[in-house]
Structure 1
Amino acid sequence: MPPNTTASSGQKPGKSGRKKGRRARLIVIVLVLAIVGGVAYGAYWTISTVRASLPQTKGSIELSGLSGPVDVKRDGYGIPQIYASSDEDLFMAQGYVQAQDRFYEMDVRRHMTSGRLSEMFGKGQVKNDEFLRTLGWHRVAQKEYDTKLSDSTKKYLQAYAKGVNAYLKGKDGADLSLEYAALGFTNDYKPEKWTPVDSVAWLKAMAWDLRGNMQDEIDRSLMTSRLGPKQIADLYPDYPYSRNKTIVQEGQYDEVTQTWSQSSSSSSSGSAAGTGLAGGTEAPSGFQSQLSGLYDVLDDVPTAVGVNGNGIGSNSWVVDGDHTITGKPLLANDPHLSASLPSVWYQMGLHCRSVNAKCQYDVAGYTFAGMPGVVIGHNQDIAWGLTNSGVDVSDLYLEKLTGDGYQYDGKVVPFTTRKEKIDVAGGKSKTIVVRETGNGPLLSDRDDELVKVGKKATVDTAAPDRGDGYGISLRWTALEAGNTMDAVFELDKASDWTEFRKASESFEVPSQNLVYADTDGNIGYQLPGRIPTRGKGDGSLPSPGWDSKYRWTGYIDQDELPYEYNPKRGYIVTANQAVVDEDKYPYTLTTDWGYGARSQRITDLIESKIKGGGKISTDDMRQMQLDNSSEIAKLLVPKLLDIDVSDPDVRQAQKLLEGWDYTQDADSAAAAYFNATWRNILKLAFGNKLPKELRVKGQCLSVDRVDTTGPADEDQKVRECGERDADQAQPDGGDRWFEVVRKIIDDEDNDWWQSPKSRTDKATDTRDELLGRAMKDARWELTAKLGKDIDTWSWGRLHRLFLKNQTLGTEGPSLLKYALNRGPWKLSGGEATVNATGWNAAGGYNVVWVPSMRMVVNLGDLDKSKWINLTGASGHAYSAHYTDQTEKWVKGELLSWSFSDKAVDKSTSDTLLLKP
């Protein structure tokens, strides 16, 4: 069950609460029977009853704690715009309204961030809680709140919590949402009060999923068991600076002033080749099994906004007024995150009736349910967007353990330890001991296999007393107290470039690419974040923790971080590519950038419009977001068409590629066949050569029949994997693999083109032999999945989006999942495409991450801005706004985004007055 956040309580309701719980359980039973049996009257009665948990959106409600009246105006999609006369009232109302729509989601999120999922979902979450307690997100958030955040930020967090708790007052779980009623079958759970720290902790979960290259560190190190340094280098090619442009193109690092300037000169540092540990240090025996064990632990951790740190990206770009039809900038953003239900984003506006010292905000955009303020959007003066920078802010360390301590520069240093008690719904509580070195917590203590090293664990704790041995610790910027929450409020009220850059100084974790535009016509980019500097090593491999030379030496100063303001080219594109050319910067920001397939495609689209003498419109920006062009297809299809195919069925499929424009539309048979061929190329060329520890858990790579017309093929059992498949890994197929194949495509006899024989095919030795076999395998794979008649094939039949409720929709009873989940939808787009409906070649073609929202801000007329969310405003399964934006999102449409008082009034459907 991969849930989403944190809260808690083991309190049991009284007699009346138990009655309500029984009534709610009855509601769920009747609901399921009504859905499955099609009993119209029962369905009507059930849904009417469920609606009792839906929010009141009209009339008035008295809210103790407000200093004045607050208006909540909702449009036809249930998106709220809040109007107040003081900051505290504004954020208190935000807490109340978000709790109305999304409290269950908020509650799960806070349980995740505090490692208390077992309190809601029972013993199945104990292992996850152990790992999350070891990381200690909530502890760090508490420290931030106590010691780092500004007084005003604390005041806003308190007001927000007050609003959430005002909504909870007097309500049982079943009164809050359908999910609580379902939980009541096994657990009389009652939500407890919201706290300011619950809001702050969510930033840690977000940072975890956007943490950078930790997985690459592990993968590279595991590869050393089967591959040599040159082969590993083949699989991690250098960033193609000459082909795919960096974000920042004007300016350099000034060695004299030690600042970034838009005119200077520099030096750079390179990346290290690896033999298991940084600096070429020989890894001890057993290190591979330890990393493999950690791999499994990480794979089970619930996701917050991403796919456990893997494969996700985002697009944002801004074009100045010289190149737009409005004469003012246009700014687009679409973060690529997990496909979740409800969407990770919550749309809203926060408006002071009069902006002054008492009430400072007039802002609208996207935020997270459970957190005050707006994270991405615009105010009356500026707009901003975010993409993940991908800079390396985490390092794994191998630690030498001796008795009750760890070795450091020849001495034994005692661990820092703490006990953590995990309460379990319906079971016994468990106490663990968390041990930390100077680098951070020992993640390896949370793996059952690793704790067998040394002495046996003591009876009352799960932490081992290892004796001599090794462990793996984590150094990560998010485990140090910071003040990112301050940045949210500073961005929301910034009025110009100077204030925007000042706000970015506080945006420490996670490090994001910040793009900017203002109503005066300026555009800009800033790399923010707490980014470490290292002694030895470059962060590409785990480091020896016993050697002080590999410790972090500090952080890059804000003045040294790259930025760009009103560049001569007139636009800025960020899509997870390299921030700056390595020759212009002295620090290694990461060795694992995205490889620029999306960013360069966006750049090409912008330049083709500009060079053609055209001006870019809001709709042009929208159309760019929907671009489905496949960069790897442009490289491979000419090679595939040159192959002489004798099998008439395979030749029939090959002919689909003739004249194909490389566009991955949902109705394209050519896109289906090409992507199946690409997946099989990866499998044949690389899968049998990678360590089996890199295999995606639970995935079968064998060809199998899947009924793509059924309601939930993801849950169907497939034929058991062949023995060869079970022992091999599979590349995910992202743009790093585009670059890997690009480097060898013209070397027809490269060793990577060799693949072993199978029961039906001989071994391959050359590129064309392997490509031909991949085309044949793809033909029969799609015959099994889609049928023999290629006229019925389409990419959308393979590439589908299932929206699953983040908790009970993934591991709840099948009938409850039917009630909570939605889909499938047939999608266009693909992996490393601008319209990044990502799929993982290791597991099939279904969509695993998406443009989680899309927006285009028009700085010439903010009321002509456009936006869309993946699902809807509500987290209630039977609300009209549960997935009411999804169909439009699938079609690539955007909704009108009202901002001015006049526009909001015109679009308002419901108005709720909150009174003191």
Structure 2
Amino acid sequence: MPANKSGPAPKKKKGRRGRLVAITVVLLLVAGIAFGAFWGVSTVRASLPQTTGSLKLAGLSDPVDVKRDANGIPQIYADTDEDLFRAQGYVQAQDRFWEMDVRRHMTSGRLSEMFGKDQVKTDSFLRTLGWHEVAQKEYDTKLSPSTKKYLQAYSAGVNSYLKDHKGSALSLEYAALDFQNDYTPEKWTPVDSVAWLKAMAWDLRGNMQEEIDRSLMTSRLSEKQIAELYPAYPYKRNKPIVQGGAVNPVTKEFDPKGTAPATQNGAGTGATQGLQSQLSSLSKSLDEIPALLGPNGNGIGSNSWVVSGDHTTTGKPLLANDPHLAPQMPSLWYQMGLHCRTVGPKCGYDVSGYTFSGMPGVVIGHNQDISWGMTNLGADVSDLYLEKINADGYLFDGKQQPFLTRKETIKVADGPSRQITVRSTNNGPIVSDRDDELATVGKSAPVGNAAPDRGDGYAISLRWTALDPGKSMDAVFELNRAKDWTSFRKAAAHFEVPSQNLIYADTKGNIGYQAPGRIPVRGAGDGTLPAPGWDKKYRWTGVIPQQALPWEYNPDRGYIVTANQAVIDEDKYPYLLTKDWGYGARSQRINDLIQSKIKDGGKVSTDDMQSFQQDNSSEIARLLTPYLTKIDIKDKYVRDAQQLLDGWDFTQEPDSAAAAYFNGVWRNLLKLAFGNKMPKELRVEGQCLNVRPANETGPADDLDKFVRECGERAPDMAQPDGGDRWYEVVRKIIDDPTNDWWKTEDRPGHPGDKNRDQLLAHAMKDARYELTAKLGKNIDNWSWGRLHQMFLNNQTLGTDGPGILQGLFNRGPWNVGGGEAAVNATGWNAAGGYGVTWVPSMRMVVNLADLDKSRWINLTGASGHAYDAHYYDQTDKWAKGELLPWAFGEDAVKKGTKDTLTLAP
């Protein structure tokens, strides 16, 4: 799970007075003199939550206890459902209200109200998508009465906290920007909570970027070349989640034991002529939208797996989960337990796990009977449509149709309000209206066979399942109450967006998997390219029936692995889920680790599950290193680096010089073989990769010259991100040494590479000099962790403004191991450098034999307050791969309780 940060990275402009106030506050906070020091300490401490004694909470029917352990993780005990969720709202507001407030302004397209005119463009795009409007419809028309009741109780708890806390008493962020003078948080509403699911769905929406990229590639690459860059999923090597079964053609129900033949719908056609400028602009617009869960969808994935009791040391299932999301401060996740003192009709919850601040219930975790985990399924649930429009409407099926329009007013903190008009077709909102360049779609010189009747351009609309009201909020509470496989599947059927792989285990010993979600059925097209909106053949014809979605229950192999690989072999399934799976590097490694443990009757322990989560093995290193070590390198300085790979076991520990060098080679290989051959629309600003002294064999003086002249920035280049799709691309050509992808163009003074071995040598040389610039000339001092650092940045005040302000809220760096497509997925994007861009945002191992022997960890800590003891008290343990004890039962919680707060009516 999915796709994707707790808020945006906005630029704040509150005028000279506002900035001076902010700087003054900062100086007072850090000054160590007289009254200034006292004032700063009091401001810092003003928002720290009360965790002992008692407080009044209006609306409670009975007292509620909030027990916190040594890490500040709360466990709430109540006698009614409403009391439980009212207290949850209050406690989350204590710890994370700034995060909640920014998040709801993002989901409703109102960031400009907090951060000023620089956020108008972002707000305009978000208003066009209409997340908050859809959330309101869900709340009004779709959600059950009990869900509404819980949302109302949660909101009441948040608002009780807001009533007694203002400005700096809410958080240091409000004090630092002096928001209390011109900004007052409004009351929390149930729709604020529901809208968060739309933000999750946006970051986990599937292949929209791939759809754009493939279209842009048509300007320079042939269909054959594009197909080579998007190879088919390797079903025989990397096992799908569900390894058998079929849909009954009569009942439309999926049968895990079925063998009926399958024929998928859709063909790979679209309408991409003459669209280079507008699709490139759309891609840039998407990059500007705040990425809540990961770096704009790139790399968002997760690991989860469950092993049955037949193969565990406990005799009952063990379930692990670690969602891969953006590193941020605070962590996206919030750990807590929600316990009814007596579970029954009056109070039905006894659940613990991870949730999001601003949302009631538990998203991932376990109750007294079952446990569940999630990974992003990656279903293609969005399509871009090209629209033939004029001032009055759009063309569909040969007839002119009127737009559906609405007006939106965007309030701006440092200026006048702005008004936009949102136009929609029968495919969805026109997203091209939100960009000046997109608004002139098709006017630039066409590339390829452009449609001559579109002199005034196309518009681009978005069809997306999350823009239809659904019942995902119902599903959260139903999962929390589920007692067995049947009730779990019933809850999963309501988890419509975002579409997630759900794994299952229960205390009786059963394991299972369910693919839920609202996944479209297309008429024509397969969702890989933008479609012609004027042609009715490309309309969605419905959604895949819930009963037809793949599932497994107690499979014979005794375990289930989901890590964003293909759900099921497309030859065995009649419906199109997506053409853009993750390629299974992580999932197959987990399969192999489990298989190696259970062969010959071996058993998997809780320690083993934790160890698997830390596996740093690199599949691409295992593939490429034998070729790299055989290259005859003449340059001694490059050869010294090459020798680091001799005997390397392909693991990426923080102190590994071999891992640092290999990943440098991999990044340079991608640039040489593929990056420079991409169309300019795909190019992004890169870093110095292959700037090189003219004397290629020169010793230290040339190295020093290189270090002085390289710098951090280089000309634009189209650099692949280096994910496991590129593993498959290279695997397909590695044994074809004269393949065209290995050939590079001649440059003045630098003849091009003519074959594989020349390009590999070139990449090794460039990596040697790049790492010299970054890590020094002495390879004995190189380490992967020094290149591969994780920073935890506050996603608002920590990403812009004076450095001293950022220093108040940000933490790091940590030198970490792991890497791209490793099980320990500390991902990095080869287009931008080696820094960590996504991480296992939490880790858990649930022991269904004894829930109190389960383990968990968060990336940061329970608190969102910068100088709270629990702001990042779990991070060092997380970086070392450690897990904390996870108390669940009343006795275990009591034993671990450090602070108790009683909330009284």
TM-score, normalised relative to structure 1: 0.92
Which residue number in structure 1 is paired with residue 363 of structure 2? 375
One-letter identity of the residue aligned with 1:515: I
In the alignment, the residues of structure 2 paired with residue 409 and residue 497 of structure 1 have an alpha-carbon distance, to the nearest angstrom, of: 46
Alignment match of 1:83 (pick from 59, 68, 77): 77
* Residue aligning to 1:712: none
In 2, the alpha carbon distance for the partners of 1:749 and 1:755 equals: 11
Aligned 8 A contact 1:104 1:177 in 2:
yes
**How many aligned residue pairs are there?**
870
1:250 pairs with 230, 244, 254, which one?
244
Residue 122 and residue 745 in structure 1: after superposition, are their counterparts in 2 closer, same or farther (change >3 A)?
A: same
Structure 2: state its 5+ residue gaps. 9-13, 444-453, 693-707
2:200 corresponds to 1:206: yes
- The question of whether the paired residues in 1 share the 8 Å contact of 2:320 and 2:846 is answered with yes
Q: Distance in 1 between matches of 2:710 and 2:792?
A: 21
Who is 1:788 aligned against? 777
Equivalent-residue separation in structure 2 for 1:25 and 1:227 (angstroms): 51
Question: 1:769 maps to what in 2?
Answer: 758
Distance 2:876 2:109 in 1: 35
Whether the aligned pair in 2 keeps the contact of 1:90 and 1:351 (CA below 8 Å) is yes
- 2:43 counterpart of 1:53: no
Q: Which one of the candidate residues 861, 865, 878 is aligned to 1:872?
A: 861
Deviation readout 1:142-187 (Å, 9 max, x if unpaired): 0000000000000000000000000000322221011111222797
RMSD value, Cα: 2.3
Distance change >3 Å, CA 186–CA 371, structure 1 → 2:
closer
Correspondence for 2:111: 117
What are the within-5 Å matches in structure 2 for residues 158-557 of structure 1?
158-184=152-178, 188-269=182-263, 279=269, 281=271, 283-285=272-274, 287-452=275-440, 468-557=456-545
Contact in 1 for aligned 2:618/2:651 (Cα 8 Å): yes
The aligned counterpart of 1:129 is 123
CA offset digits 1:285-310 (Å, max 9, x no partner): 3x111101101110100111122122
Contact 2:339/2:349, CA 8 A, preserved across alignment: yes
Is the Cα–Cα contact under 8 Å of residues 310 and 316 in structure 2 kept in the other structure?
Answer: yes
Deviation at residue 258 of structure 1 after TM alignment: 1.6
Mapped to 1, the partners of 2:258 and 2:247 lie a distance apart of 6
**Structure 1 residues 454 and 239 mapped into 2: Cα distance closer, same or farther (>3 Å)?**
closer
Cα 1:721–1:755, aligned 2, differ >3 Å: closer, same or farther?
A: farther
- The alignment partner of 2:400 has SS state of strand
CA contact (8 A) 1:338 1:848 kept: yes
C-alpha distance in 2 between matches for 1:584 and 1:856:
32
Which residue of structure 2 aligns with residue 700 of structure 1?
687
Match in the other structure for 1:463: none
Partner of 2:735: 746
Match of 1:647 among 635, 648, 662: 635
Deviation, 1:523, is 0.1
Q: Please list the CA deviations of residues 79-111 of structure 1 after superposition, one character each: whole Å capped at 9, or x if unmatched.
A: 000000000000000000000000000000000
Letter in 2 for 1:122: G
Q: Residues 186 and 378 from structure 1, CA distance in 2 versus in 1: closer, same or farther, beyond 3 angstroms? A: closer
Check if 1:675 corresponds to 2:663.
Answer: yes
Contact 1:27-1:49 within 8 A present in 2 as well:
no
CA distance in 2, matches of 1:476, 1:526: 22
Q: 1:693, CA displacement in angstroms? A: 1.7
Q: In structure 1, what is the Cα distance between the partners aligned to 2:199 and 2:407?
A: 22
Q: Select which of 685, 689, 701 maps to 2:673.
A: 685
CA 1:647/1:57 → structure 2, altered by over 3 Å: closer, same or farther?
Answer: same
Deviation at 1:692, TM superposition (A): 2.0
Of 180-189 and 360-369, deviating more is 180-189
What is the correspondence of 1:824-839 to structure 2 with a 5 Å cutoff? 824-839=813-828
Q: CA deviation at 1:24?
A: 9.0
Q: Distance in 1 between matches of 2:738 and 2:899?
A: 67
* Contact 2:49-2:94 within 8 A present in 1 as well: yes
Q: Residues 691 and 773 of structure 1: is their aligned pair in 2 closer, same or farther, counting only changes over 3 Å?
A: same
Q: Is the CA contact (8 Å cut-off) linking 2:861 and 2:874 kept in structure 1?
A: yes
Give the C-alpha shift of residue 21 in structure 1. Answer: 13
Give the Cα separation in 1 of the matches to 2:827 and 2:516. Answer: 27
Letter matched to residue 394 of structure 1: S
* Partners of 1:21 and 1:174 within 8 A in 2: no
Deviations 1:738-781 (A, max 9, x none): 00000000000000001123456320010000000000000000
CA offset digits 1:196-234 (Å, max 9, x no partner): 000000000010001100000000010000000000000
C-alpha spacing 1:771/1:290, structure 2 compared with 1 (3 Å): same
**What's the counterpart of residue 461 of structure 1?**
none
| Paired AA for residue 727 in structure 2 | F
User: Within 1, Cα distance between the matches of 2:313 and 2:570?
Assistant: 35
Given that residues 27 and 50 in structure 1 are in contact (C-alpha distance below 8 angstroms), is that contact kept between their aligned partners in structure 2? Answer: no
1:30 equivalent to 2:28? Answer yes
CA shift for structure 1 position 721: 4.2
Letter in 2 for 1:744: I
Work out whether 1:67 is the aligned partner of 2:38. no
Q: 2:442 and 2:730 mapped to 1: Cα distance?
A: 44
Q: Give the Cα–Cα distance (whole angstroms) in 1 for the partners of residues 64 and 19 of structure 2.
A: 33
The letter of the residue matching 1:352 is: C
Distance 1:537 1:302 in 2: 30
Q: Is the CA contact (8 Å cut-off) linking 2:316 and 2:849 kept in structure 1?
A: yes
Give distance in 1, aligned partners of 2:34 and 2:436.
51
Query: Secondary structure of 1:539's match?
Result: coil
SS at match of 1:577: coil
SS in 2 for 1:169: helix
Sort the Cα spacing of 1:246 and 1:290 in 2 relative to 1 into closer, same or farther, 3 A.
same
CA distance, structure 2, for counterparts of residue 354 and residue 638 of structure 1:
61
Q: Is the 8 A contact 2:855 2:886 kept in 1?
A: yes
- SS of equivalent residue, structure 1 residue 207: helix
Residue 450 of structure 1 and its aligned partner are, at CA, apart by 2.4
Alpha-carbon shift at residue 30 of structure 1 (Å)? 1.2
Shift of residue 188, structure 1, vs aligned partner: 2.0
For residues 530-581 of structure 1, the C-alpha deviation after alignment (integer angstroms, 9 at most, x for no partner) is 0110000011111000000000000111110000000000000000000001
Distance 1:541 1:894 in 2: 43
Q: Distance in 1 between matches of 2:409 and 2:469?
A: 23
Indicate yes or no: 2:794 matched with 1:805.
yes
* Alignment partners' CA distance in 2, 1:760 and 1:880: 58
- TM-score, structure 2 as length reference: 0.93
Q: Which of 884, 889, 892 pairs up with 2:873?
A: 884
DSSP-derived class of the 1:623 partner: helix
The aligned amino acid for 2:226 is: I
Q: Tell which deviates more after alignment, 297-306 or 869-878.
A: 297-306
Provide structure 1 residue ranges, at least 5 long, that are not aligned to the other structure: 7-11, 13-19, 456-465, 706-715
Judging changes above 3 Å, is the alpha-carbon distance between structure 1 residues 294 and 50 closer, same or farther for their aligned structure 2 residues?
Answer: same
Aligned equivalents of 1:605, 1:538: Cα separation in 2: 35
Q: Aligned ranges for residues 553-592 of structure 1 at < 5 Å?
A: 553-592=541-580
Give the Cα separation in 1 of the matches to 2:80 and 2:711: 62
On the 8 A contact 2:668/2:689 being kept in 1, the answer is: no
Q: Which amino acid aligns with 1:361?
A: Y
Q: Which amino acid aligns with 1:437?
A: T
Overall identity of the aligned pairs, in %: 71
Per-residue deviation, 1:263? 1.8
Q: Give the partner amino acid of 2:306.
A: V
Partner residue, 2:850 = 861
How far, CA to CA, are the matches of 1:553 and 1:843 in structure 2?
A: 40
Residue number among 126, 137, 147 corresponding to 2:141 in the alignment: 147
Equivalent of residue 593 in structure 1, options 562, 565, 581: 581
The CA distance in 1 between the partners of 2:190 and 2:710, in whole Å, is: 46
Between the aligned partners of 2:309 and 2:187, the Cα distance in structure 1 is 48
1:628, 1:665 within 8 Å by CA — same for their partners in 2?
A: yes
Q: Which residue of 2 aligns with 1:458?
A: none
Relative to structure 1, the CA distance from residue 770 to residue 418 in structure 2 (aligned partners, 3 Å threshold; closer, same or farther) is: same
Aligned pair in 2 of structure 1 residues 615, 186: CA closer, same or farther (>3 Å)? same
**Structure 2 vs 1, CA of residues 398 and 548 (structure 1 numbering), >3 Å: closer, same or farther?**
same
Q: Indicate how the Cα distance of structure 1 residues 95 and 267 shifts in structure 2: closer, same or farther if over 3 A, else same.
A: same
